[in-house]
Structure 1
Amino acid sequence: MRMMLDTRDIVQRYLYQFGVWEPSLTAWLTGVLRPGDVFVDVGANIGYFSLLAARIVGHTGSVVAIECSPAAGSELRGNLAANQVGNVRQVTSAVAASECVLTFYEPKKGIHSVTTSVPAGDPVFQAAAKPLSALLTAAELGAARVIKVDIEGGEYDALSGLVPVLDRTRPDLAIVVEVNEAMLARQGRTVAATTGLLTDLGFHPYRLVNSYRPSSYLVPGRPPQRVREPVTGQADLVFSRIDADTL
């Protein structure tokens, strides 16, 4: 894929250096998605996972790339155009449990990959927010093979807006969620409460190995492993209705 990159941002720097971001998630998505599938990318940033999925699902499938940041959204739009993809629908919106307006912050000024609605530093923009159930069409929801939610602390509210319509999804739907114990705590939320939104509905949690050490990008990604202990700190989780040791 072709992407314009700013190496001051860790996501874009690693893409420039290694040609990949989050190797374990990349490898898993590559193995799971098939032509004709729908991939929903909540927190699409500059579009790495959206472009990856667009190639795999092909012209019979589609990608919904949701990004509220004006700066990241502009870069996403440029990267989609550079790759001439016609199966990605870009949605400029924040995601929440209900319709509202959210204020966003950049803890590291100018670094769009960590934009968050959790107060941290000076506010940089406001965005209208809707629940996922309102942002996806009935066809997209019903055909979604993977929904990825990585919105820097807003995952509880995003999942809350998805839960009411999960009964309309495919039996093999997988939901990828990044959880951060510290950011959730600042909102009065917990990891257990966040994961419970899905496990209470019969989804099983699996953990993706994810390290930001450069050396970890030199080895193949590993498949998601079943979570048996309470999750602490920061973790990338895959939720599936499949009950197994490894996805």
Structure 2
Amino acid sequence: MNGTYIGNNKMLVKLAYNAMITVPADDLSLMPTFVTTGMFEVPLTKYFLSHIKQGYNIVDVGANVGYFTVLASKLVGNSGKVFAYEADSKTASMLKDNLAMNWTTENVKVINKAVYSESKLMKFLSSERFIAYSSLHEKPSDENVQDTFTTKEVEAVALDNELKNIDSIDLVKIDIEGGEYHAFLGMMGLLQEQKIKKVTFEWNPPMLGGDTENFLLLLSEILNSFDGRLYLLNQEGEPVATTLKEVSNYEFLPFVLIEF
């Protein structure tokens, strides 16, 4: 086991990439995997380890408790920068604690905001038992998933406005439970200016809901207009070329990559 209960509903977890984080002890989405394996989303973890270099600028959209934020911070070093967006204030607070305990605060900026297509106040659904399910989008009902959501008002922002002064962004990682369409809409300016080199995101039609077809059309436009190349990550975290048509055939793909 890789976790120890330290009180106040917190598990301290030793991660496989030589770091530590805390996670809510009653969480049923991330905590069990962290405690039993010390890792999460292994292909994307391996991709980070092999492709992120010193001096990179990384944007972590949907940072949660900071598993990928801490990893990115260690990899980019003092010459790089990580921008971590987390909409839930309670989770963002734990994210900051996790950065502090790993001495990775100086090259990370935590932004307690949701990422969207425009700047506005929005309703955010915060999960009580599955923190990875918290989202601007309502999760499809499942009688076997017993959960309660608290509705919070959060500030939503577009990356075009947030990151307009950044000259180059080496990677944007997006995992926001169905909010991907609006996140992409909100960074079209950055893409047009060729500031973004790579984007990893989740393909999740059940959570995208009514945005699914529009997201496909937007991805097609992005790939055609900006010479994007589409990949899936294999189990070793290496990109394997794919097509948008192939992606659209899946109900869920956790690791989609676009390179420009």
TM-score normalised over the length of structure 2: 0.80
**1:20 — aligned with what?**
39
- Say whether the 8 Å CA contact 1:116–1:152 is kept in structure 2: yes
Aligned-partner Cα distance in 2 for 1:71–1:194? 32
User: Is 1:97–1:157's contact at 8 Å kept on the other side of the alignment?
Assistant: yes
- Larger CA deviation: 122-131 vs 183-192: 183-192
Q: Which runs of 5+ in 1 are unaligned?
A: 210-219, 242-247
Structure 1's 102 and 27: CA in aligned 2 closer, same or farther, altered over 3 A? same
Offset, 1:187: 4.1
Deviations 1:99-138 (A, max 9, x none): 11221224x5332211111134754211111101112251
Matches within 5 A, 1:96-107: 96-106=116-126
Task: Indicate conservation of the 8 Å contact 1:184/1:190, yes or no.
Answer: no
The alignment status of 1:114 with 2:139, answered yes or no, reads no
Kindly indicate whether residue 31 of structure 2 is the aligned counterpart of residue 31 of structure 1: no
Q: Contact 1:163 / 1:197 at 8 angstroms: preserved in 2?
A: no
1:62 is aligned to 81
- Count of residues paired in the alignment: 227
> Larger deviation: 162-171 or 87-96?
162-171
Q: Does 1:223 align with 2:238?
A: yes
Query: Mean alpha-carbon deviation: is it higher for 226-235 or for 75-84?
Result: 226-235
Cross-structure match for 1:193? 217
Deviation at 1:170, TM superposition (A): 4.6
- The offset of 1:9, in angstroms, is 3.0
**Does the 8 A contact of 1:175 with 1:239 survive in 2?**
yes
Match status 1:147 vs 2:172 = yes
Amino acid at match of 1:203: G
Cα deviation 1:40-73 (Å, max 9, x = unaligned): 0000000010100111110011100110111211
Structure 2 letter corresponding to 1:133? D
Aligned-residue offset at 1:194: 4.5
Matched, 1:156 2:176: no
> Residues of 2 paired with 1:21 and 1:188: CA distance?
26
Q: Is the 8 A contact 1:181 1:191 kept in 2?
A: no
Identify, as 1 or 2, the structure richer in strand: 2
Cα distance in 2 for residues equivalent to 1:137 and 1:166: 11
User: Percent sequence identity over matched residues?
Assistant: 24
Question: Unmatched 5+ residue regions in structure 2?
Answer: 1-18, 140-147
Residue matched to 2:107: 87
Once residues 18 and 94 of structure 1 are traced to their aligned partners in structure 2, the CA distance between those partners, rounded to angstroms, is: 29
Can you list the C-alpha shifts for 1:173-232, whole angstroms capped at 9, x where unaligned?
Answer: 1100112112222446455225224313221111124xxxxxxxxxx6341211134322
Q: Distance in 1 between matches of 2:164 and 2:102?
A: 25
TM-score (norm 1): 0.84
Aligned to 2:29: 10
Deviation at 1:84, TM superposition (A): 1.7
Contact 2:174 2:201 in 1 (8 A): yes
| Whole-Å separation in 2 of the counterparts to 1:55 and 1:76 | 15
Contact 2:231–2:242 (Cα < 8 Å) also in 1: yes
In the superposition, relative to structure 1, how do residues 189 and 75 fare at CA in structure 2: closer, same or farther (>3 Å)?
A: farther
CA 1:194–1:234 in structure 2 vs 1: closer, same or farther (change >3 Å)? farther
CA distance in 1, matches of 2:101, 2:43: 26
Note closer, same or farther for the CA distance 1:11–1:221 as it changes in structure 2 (3 Å cut): farther
